[in-house]
Amino acid sequence: MKNIVILISGRGSNMEALIAARDAGTLPVNIAAVISNRPEALGLETAQRAGIAAHFIDHKGFESREAFDAALAECIDQFAPDLVVLAGFMRILTPGFVRRYEGRLLNIHPSLLPSFPGLHTHQRALDEGVRIHGCTVHFVTAELDHGPVVIQAAVPVIDGDDEASLAARILVQEHRIYPQAVRWFAEDRLQLVDGKVRIAAALDAERAFISPELR
Ligand code: GAR
């Protein structure tokens, strides 16, 4: 069974979705540890309650990104993960860190990348007037919120939406697509080959989920 380490910065609802899928028997992974860059991250308590090793490495204690990333990598590597899963981990990673975990570092982002990388994606989508928004799981590259796409889910923007209502509609889909992406990896079906995503025997429709409101 594959070992995974999950990195969080806050609430940890995507982490919870992964734990729930594991507990339901639909995600055959060992969640070896959860690591936060913020001591106060709510998700740390959730992980502890689930019996998972929970650590924090406060980024404020480091003088440079390189020094923080080196400490983070040292902590991660104790658990010898096959896959490192960024689940609301709100740090820009150094190229050296990204290289170290190349092909085994996934991120989830609350937009249909390459649209709206960075912060405040839902408000920016509303401000732009887009009618379709969503979320993306991708392999991490040195460019922020950018990299080969594993799976996306699309949701409609509805008249009267505000940031909170749109975020909530998308979060439901995040909790669906992240366990799916990690499941493919756990089943040895997901690979990054020459910068391209390969998923053995995955249907196109499985990699592009259209929320029921759009059908
Ligand atoms: C999620 O919406 C995730 O997509 C986003 O942070 C939130 C974390 O929520 N990640 C990013 O914006 C990464 N650029 P969670 O802690 O409840 O999973």
> pLDDT by residue (tens digit) across 150-207?
999 999 999 999 999 999 999 999 999 999 999 999 999 999 999 999 999 988 889 9
Q: Which two tokens stand for residue 86?
A: 């960024």
Q: In what order do the strands lie in the sheet with 53-56?
A: 53-56, 29-36, 2-8, 83-86, 105-109, 132-139, 149-156, 208-210
Ligand 1 atom with minimal separation from the 171 CA: 2
8 and 90 share a domain? yes
Residues 117 and 88 in one domain: no
Structural domain total, the chain:
2
Beta bridge partners of 107: 86, 138
Domain that holds residue 87: 1-101
| 67 C-beta neighbours (distance < 10 Å), count | 13
Phi/psi at 19 (nearest 5 deg)?
Answer: -65, -40
pLDDT classification of 3: cutoffs 50, 70, 90: very high
Residue of 55, 59, 109, 133 marked active site: 109
What are the pocket residues of ligand 1 if the criterion is a CB atom closer than 6 Å to any ligand atom?
8, 10-14, 43, 87-88, 108-110, 145, 171, 174
Q: Is residue 55 annotated as part of the catalytic site, yes or no?
A: no
Q: What is the pTM of this model?
A: 0.98
Q: Cis omega (within 30 of 0) on the bond before 114?
A: yes
